[in-house]
A and B are shown apart, each in its own frame.
Chain A
Amino acid sequence: MTRSARGGQRVALLVSVFVVASCGLAYELVAGALSSYLLGDSVTQFSTVIGTYLFAMGIGSWASKHVESHLADRFVGIEIAIGILGGFTAPFLFWVFSQPGAPFHICLYTCVMLVGFLVGLEIPLVMRLLETETSFKDLVSQVLSVDYLGSLAVSVLFPLVLAPRLGFVRTGLFFGILNACVALWAIWIFRDRLATPKFTTAQAFGAIALLVGGMVLAGDWTNFVEGKFYDEEIIHSSQSPYQRVVVTRWRNDVRLYLNGNLQFSSRDEYRYHEALVHPILSSHPRPLRVLVLGGGDGLAVREVLKYPGVREVTLVDLDPTMTDLFRHHPLLTRLNQGSLSDKRVTVINGDAFQWLEDHTDAFDVAIVDFPDPSNYAVGKLYTTTFYKILERHLAPGGMAVIQTTSPLLARRSFWTVVNTLESVGLRTAPYHVLVPSFGEWGFVIATRTVWKAPDTIALPTRFVTASTIATMRQFPPDMDRVATEPNRLDNQILVRTYEKEWGPIQ
């Protein structure tokens, strides 16, 4: 070889060191970020992952002395292996996490150890490959400085560009591809030193193909990632024009999530829906016509239909995807006892605000089960204007009940709703109940004259009885009433309060 050819080879190898170093740091960051994303407590996760990784690198460097011959073959082999291992770590870990009972920690640290070990081997091997050409002093300084430069590049790019744009899975795969490309390049440079250049080349191409395939499929991978979010088996998942609807099952617990937020768990929803429906319906002397706003899952309607005197139930829910799902899916109709197909029930898919404005029907009982006021659009359904319109739809002696977020975690929000109802001249009876999967949950009954709790609940119930109602109405000091302004369309203070109270919890 001529001198300049060797010089070219050296530059090429230094470029590889730069890439290899970037990849090494990228895997470390992906593993650290992913474990803190999945397990929380990022300080612990990052420091244990990085510690393990550095330790494994140390072992790798130490082990490099046992590689005595075929340096070039070994180097290429290691690059391919790191590419595959490092590249697939993130999707693999996501998958493990979604498997109930799988040993996530063991898998995590095994992956970190393996990748760290191989990365630890790399640099000493590169140095030895270059050793023949450069003095040791120059070599150390060049290789190490390029190594640190590569790390710097990734540590800056990772939080700013890679993680937000590509996500963990694609970032890992991307660096895997880079690693495999370094392998290809090394094959070209050392083509006359390799034992089986053709076979090695095929391996490298194979690895690249696998990784690229992974990149392409990474979109579908989010379904697996969803498996992580929901921990459980997904039995329905769809995107309606309004929201992402996911139903999961784990053993005999069925759960509904809208946009990732839990709506109910079949294990304790009876507490929520009994508390929403029975106090008000049992207190009404003759509830003939009932209005349900929101509540497209039909669970509140299920409770309403237990009252034989009820002749008509009108359910207004925005999302036909929801009402169709809960009318037809066998598992879900078992849960709501087919309430949405009952002859007495009319399902209307529409905007509750508009529907109330456009109609004049009066109801004995109105059950208002809207999503929490987390944005201005939904926040409108908690305003003085809305409650005034709602009041017009109450028959003489009519009453309404409103689901009102958690009086414990969102105390101010809860009492804002109570104060808003009172500001339009309604009497209120606030109460709360413990629903284990949500926490302490609040409701308000609104009436024109003082509400009188029922003396008995004449139906078989699992939770609500006349005496539970009495305790539900007690507010201990940590949930006690606070003075607030009423929530109006022009201030929407509830949305801001709610955001402040729930923001830090989510």
Chain B
Amino acid sequence: MNRRQFLTGAGAAAVLAGCRWKGVAPKPELPPGTLGGPDHQHGHLLRSGSLPEPSRERRVGIAIVGAGIGGLACAWRLQRNGVSNFEVFELEKEVGGNSRAGENRVSKHPLGAHYLPVPPPSLRPLRELLAELGVLTGDPYAERPTYDEAYLCAAPQERLFAGGKWHEGLLPESWIPPSEREPIARFLRRMECFKQARGVDGKLAFTFPVRDSSQDPIWTDFDKMSFKEWMEREGFQSPELAAHLNYACRDDFGTDFGLVSAWAGIHYFAARRGKAANGDDDHYLTRPEGNLWLANGLAHPVRDRISTQRLAVRMETQNGAPFVDFLHVATGEVERIHADLVVWASPLFLLPFVWRDMPAPAITASKQFTHAPWVVANLELSRRPLDRPGAEMAWDNVIRESGSLGYVVATHQIPRVLEGPTTLTWYQPLTLDDPASERTRLLGRTRESVAEEVLADLEQVHPDIRACCTRLDVWRWGHAMVRPTVGFLWHSDRRWFEQQTGQVLFAHSDLSGMSLFEEAFLHGVRAADQIGTQKSTIDSPGTQGVG
């Protein structure tokens, strides 16, 4: 009776439905692909300490080290603030850092960061960026601005594979046993309360940036226990909720919820307050290339001031004006950049090898930062793979019983009725062992062994994945993201870096203890604005501005 209903999307599946899924076929050859990752060879060079002396030197007003989101946001903001004597130095060939993307024959795809929740009006600079990029239209400071629908993640957004079936959503009603609905509902209500909560200082308990959150111990004390302990203590008895919270912590922090600080865990659920006129609350923006569009949007107005393939190898800050030595990794030459101000927008773990006169408190503080290693794989598929029954393929596809986080579909935002070739981006934080051992193991692995693991994982849900996978590129992130472990956020020396006001400023997501776009971006903006207030220094004579 239902007129013209047909399963376009499941076109191939309809044909294949009749055929039986191939069981264990003889192991076919792996699809071709590459093994990539951030340039860690040069990082090792740094540790070895055997570096050439500079052959040239130059002066710039402000030297920004690193063109990830933090460094680019700083440059973008300086430009907007009317400051022009800055230069950005980046180790890799491309800008973007963790927000970089790759491309195969089918589509662009993320290598790391891949979504940004719509920001609340309080994040004014971020709203301004989105308006500048045309993704946000109308009043950028409105409570509910209108977003370009090509960026708002299309439906269906999420699905979970559990009990042999796909379910819509990550806490799906069709899967959660009735006995667990009450604790889950109670948990979600509690998170809503935390969203409203404020401390005695009048500040929101959990917000972006992390440093604007309330310092009232009633809230910061959540940092003293793990998210898992907190959940158990509060009596949220639900294995499905536990699995979901663990998933959330591994997804955002690359760390199990037994190690993540409860403050960070709650922040994940209670700090987002963005709204859209044409989207649900807390909706998010995504593109096939992940967050690279944001990095490129920041870089575009300052593109002439970015030098790539420059590795900061040496920095000295005392004795008057600071300088940084950069190794041109293509030529092997070292250039000394004298600057009035240095903005360190690179990860903190390299700092002790670079900063020759690193102050003692900085040394102490930097030792408290730990980073989770991740592996990301991009699978180019010649067609949609066979799928297990249940909900249709979503943007984010999570497998309940898996050490991976599942995958996101790079072509999801391209509106097509015909769902042909696609790219799946598979994510896995390495959390079985401590980060250092996991990292060593990861750097010893071949593409083939990772590819085999990825395919075996995905075979659970797409039995013919090997037959349609035409390319599989592996990306290893040794120091993917900083870990907000118990006590790190509010009971360590973490904040030393963000509190600096001298000639070296810091702008990297590491500083927040949480590796998130907003944090990286807002550190960049903060550093730029701080420079604005110290402008007199910069405008002093003797500065040979580049611009």
The 6 sampled A-B contact pairs (Cβ below 8 Å) are A242-B7, A375-B392, A378-B6, A383-B415, A384-B278, A441-B3
Nearest residue, chain A, Cβ from B391: A376
Contacts of A451 on B, CB cut-off 8 Å? Answer: none
Bound state CA distance, A285 and B2, in angstroms? 35
Nearest residue, chain B, Cβ from A385: B149
Beyond A242-B8, A351-B418, 6 extra complex contacts between A and B, CB < 8 Å: A244-B14, A377-B417, A378-B417, A380-B416, A488-B149, A491-B279
Q: Is the Cβ of B2 less than 8 Å from the Cβ of A354?
A: no
Q: Is the Cβ of B417 less than 8 Å from the Cβ of A353?
A: yes
Q: Is the Cβ of B415 less than 8 Å from the Cβ of A378?
A: no
A241: contacting residue among B2, B12, B155, B415, CB under 8 A:
B12
Contacts of B7 on A, CB cut-off 8 Å? Answer: 242-243, 259, 375, 377
Q: Is the Cβ of B1 less than 8 Å from the Cβ of A378?
A: no
Q: Which residues of A, 382-404, contact B by the 8 Å Cβ criterion? A: 383-386, 403
Bound state CA distance, A350 and B154, in angstroms? 22
Bound state CA distance, A380 and B14, in angstroms? 20
Assuming the contacts A353-B416, A381-B417, A490-B280, asked whether A371 and B149 have C-beta atoms less than 8 A apart, the reply is: no
Answer yes or no: B419 CB below 8 A from chain A CBs.
yes
Answer yes or no: B332 CB below 8 A from chain A CBs.
no
Answer yes or no: A489 CB below 8 A from chain B CBs.
yes
B278–chain A nearest beta-carbon distance, Å: 6
Bound state CA distance, A5 and B517, in angstroms? 83
Contacts of B155 on A, CB cut-off 8 Å? Answer: 376, 379, 489-492, 495
Answer yes or no: A346 CB below 8 A from chain B CBs.
no
B272–chain A nearest beta-carbon distance, Å: 16
Contacts of A93 on B, CB cut-off 8 Å? Answer: none
Nearest residue, chain B, Cβ from A388: B149
Contacts of A385 on B, CB cut-off 8 Å? Answer: 149-150, 415
The 8 closest A-B pairs by CB, nearest first: A377-B9, A371-B4, A492-B155, A489-B154, A490-B152, A374-B5, A351-B418, A243-B6
Nearest residue, chain B, Cβ from A264: B3
Answer yes or no: B447 CB below 8 A from chain A CBs.
no
Bound state CA distance, A244 and B1, in angstroms? 15
Q: Is the Cβ of B6 less than 8 Å from the Cβ of A371?
A: yes
Q: Is the Cβ of A259 less than 8 Å from the Cβ of B5?
A: yes
B512–chain A nearest beta-carbon distance, Å: 28
Assuming the contacts A239-B15, A244-B14, A375-B9, asked whether A351 and B416 have C-beta atoms less than 8 A apart, the reply is: yes
Q: Is the Cβ of B3 less than 8 Å from the Cβ of A261?
A: yes
Nearest residue, chain B, Cβ from A386: B415
Q: Is the Cβ of A376 less than 8 Å from the Cβ of B6?
A: no
B158–chain A nearest beta-carbon distance, Å: 12
Q: Is the Cβ of B14 less than 8 Å from the Cβ of A488?
A: no
Answer yes or no: A352 CB below 8 A from chain B CBs.
yes
Answer yes or no: A109 CB below 8 A from chain B CBs.
no
Contacts of B278 on A, CB cut-off 8 Å? Answer: 384, 486, 488, 490
Answer yes or no: A372 CB below 8 A from chain B CBs.
yes
Answer yes or no: A1 CB below 8 A from chain B CBs.
no
A262: contacting residue among B3, B8, B10, B417, CB under 8 A:
B3
Answer yes or no: B202 CB below 8 A from chain A CBs.
no
Bound state CA distance, A187 and B3, in angstroms? 56
Contacts of A352 on B, CB cut-off 8 Å? Answer: 417
Residue among B6, B7, B152, B278 with the highest chain A CB neighbour number at 10 A = B6
Answer yes or no: B36 CB below 8 A from chain A CBs.
no
Q: Is the Cβ of B3 less than 8 Å from the Cβ of A405?
A: yes
Q: Is the Cβ of A351 less than 8 Å from the Cβ of B417?
A: yes
Nearest residue, chain A, Cβ from B156: A376
Answer yes or no: B359 CB below 8 A from chain A CBs.
no
Q: Which residues of A, 257-298, contact B by the 8 Å Cβ criterion? A: 258-259, 261-263, 294
B307–chain A nearest beta-carbon distance, Å: 37
Assuming the contacts A239-B15, A241-B11, asked whether A502 and B2 have C-beta atoms less than 8 A apart, the reply is: yes
A380–chain B nearest beta-carbon distance, Å: 5
Nearest residue, chain A, Cβ from B284: A490
Q: Is the Cβ of B1 less than 8 Å from the Cβ of A318?
A: no
Q: Is the Cβ of A376 less than 8 Å from the Cβ of B392?
A: yes
Nearest residue, chain A, Cβ from B279: A490
B300–chain A nearest beta-carbon distance, Å: 24
Answer yes or no: B153 CB below 8 A from chain A CBs.
yes
Answer yes or no: A135 CB below 8 A from chain B CBs.
no
Residue among B5, B155, B416 with the highest chain A CB neighbour number at 10 A = B5
Q: Is the Cβ of A506 less than 8 Å from the Cβ of B2?
A: yes
Contacts of A375 on B, CB cut-off 8 Å? Answer: 7-10, 392
Answer yes or no: B283 CB below 8 A from chain A CBs.
yes
Q: Is the Cβ of A243 less than 8 Å from the Cβ of B283?
A: no
Contacts of B417 on A, CB cut-off 8 Å? Answer: 318, 351-353, 377-378, 380-381
Contacts of B153 on A, CB cut-off 8 Å? Answer: 490
Contacts of B10 on A, CB cut-off 8 Å? Answer: 375, 377
Bound state CA distance, A372 and B155, in angstroms? 17
B8: contacting residue among A244, A318, A489, A505, CB under 8 A:
A318
Contacts of A372 on B, CB cut-off 8 Å? Answer: 2-5
Bound state CA distance, A262 and B4, in angstroms? 7
A497–chain B nearest beta-carbon distance, Å: 13
B415: contacting residue among A350, A438, A489, A495, CB under 8 A:
A489
Bound state CA distance, A471 and B402, in angstroms? 59
B18–chain A nearest beta-carbon distance, Å: 8
Q: Is the Cβ of B4 less than 8 Å from the Cβ of A490?
A: no
Contacts of A489 on B, CB cut-off 8 Å? Answer: 149, 152, 154-155, 415
Answer yes or no: A224 CB below 8 A from chain B CBs.
no
Q: Is the Cβ of A374 less than 8 Å from the Cβ of B2?
A: yes
Assuming the contacts A241-B11, A263-B3, A372-B5, asked whether A488 and B152 have C-beta atoms less than 8 A apart, the reply is: yes
B14: contacting residue among A243, A371, A492, CB under 8 A:
A243
Answer yes or no: A370 CB below 8 A from chain B CBs.
yes
Residue among B8, B14, B418 with the highest chain A CB neighbour number at 10 A = B8
Q: Which residues of A, 167-183, contact B by the 8 Å Cβ criterion? A: none
Assuming the contacts A353-B416, A385-B149, asked whether A370 and B9 have C-beta atoms less than 8 A apart, the reply is: no
Residue among B12, B152, B278, B419 with the highest chain A CB neighbour number at 10 A = B278
B283–chain A nearest beta-carbon distance, Å: 6
Q: Is the Cβ of A438 less than 8 Å from the Cβ of B149?
A: no
B2: contacting residue among A239, A261, A318, A491, CB under 8 A:
A261
A218–chain B nearest beta-carbon distance, Å: 14
Bound state CA distance, A385 and B9, in angstroms? 18
Bound state CA distance, A377 and B9, in angstroms? 5
One digit per residue, 1 when the CB lies within 8 angstroms of any chain B CB and 0 when it does not, for chain A 358-377 equals 00000000000011101111
Q: Which residues of A, 4-25, contact B by the 8 Å Cβ criterion? A: none
Bound state CA distance, A376 and B157, in angstroms? 11
One digit per residue, 1 when the CB lies within 8 angstroms of any chain B CB and 0 when it does not, for chain A 463-506 equals 00000000000000000000000101111100100000010011
B168–chain A nearest beta-carbon distance, Å: 10
One digit per residue, 1 when the CB lies within 8 angstroms of any chain A CB and 0 when it does not, for chain B 153-193 equals 11111000000000000000000000000000000000000
Contacts of A491 on B, CB cut-off 8 Å? Answer: 155, 279-280
Q: Is the Cβ of B149 less than 8 Å from the Cβ of A384?
A: yes
Bound state CA distance, A368 and B185, in angstroms? 43
Bound state CA distance, A506 and B15, in angstroms? 23
Contacts of A374 on B, CB cut-off 8 Å? Answer: 2, 5
Contacts of B283 on A, CB cut-off 8 Å? Answer: 490
Q: Is the Cβ of A261 less than 8 Å from the Cβ of B5?
A: yes
Contacts of A294 on B, CB cut-off 8 Å? Answer: 4
Q: Which residues of A, 323-371, contact B by the 8 Å Cβ criterion? A: 350-354, 357, 370-371
A492: contacting residue among B8, B12, B156, CB under 8 A:
B156
A463–chain B nearest beta-carbon distance, Å: 18
Residue among B7, B155, B415, B417 with the highest chain A CB neighbour number at 10 A = B417
Bound state CA distance, A374 and B4, in angstroms? 9
Bound state CA distance, A158 and B294, in angstroms? 57
Q: Is the Cβ of A353 less than 8 Å from the Cβ of B415?
A: yes
Q: Which residues of B, 415-457, contact A by the 8 Å Cβ criterion? A: 415-419
Contacts of A378 on B, CB cut-off 8 Å? Answer: 6, 8-9, 417
Bound state CA distance, A258 and B8, in angstroms? 11
Q: Is the Cβ of B416 less than 8 Å from the Cβ of A354?
A: yes
A432–chain B nearest beta-carbon distance, Å: 14
Bound state CA distance, A380 and B419, in angstroms? 12
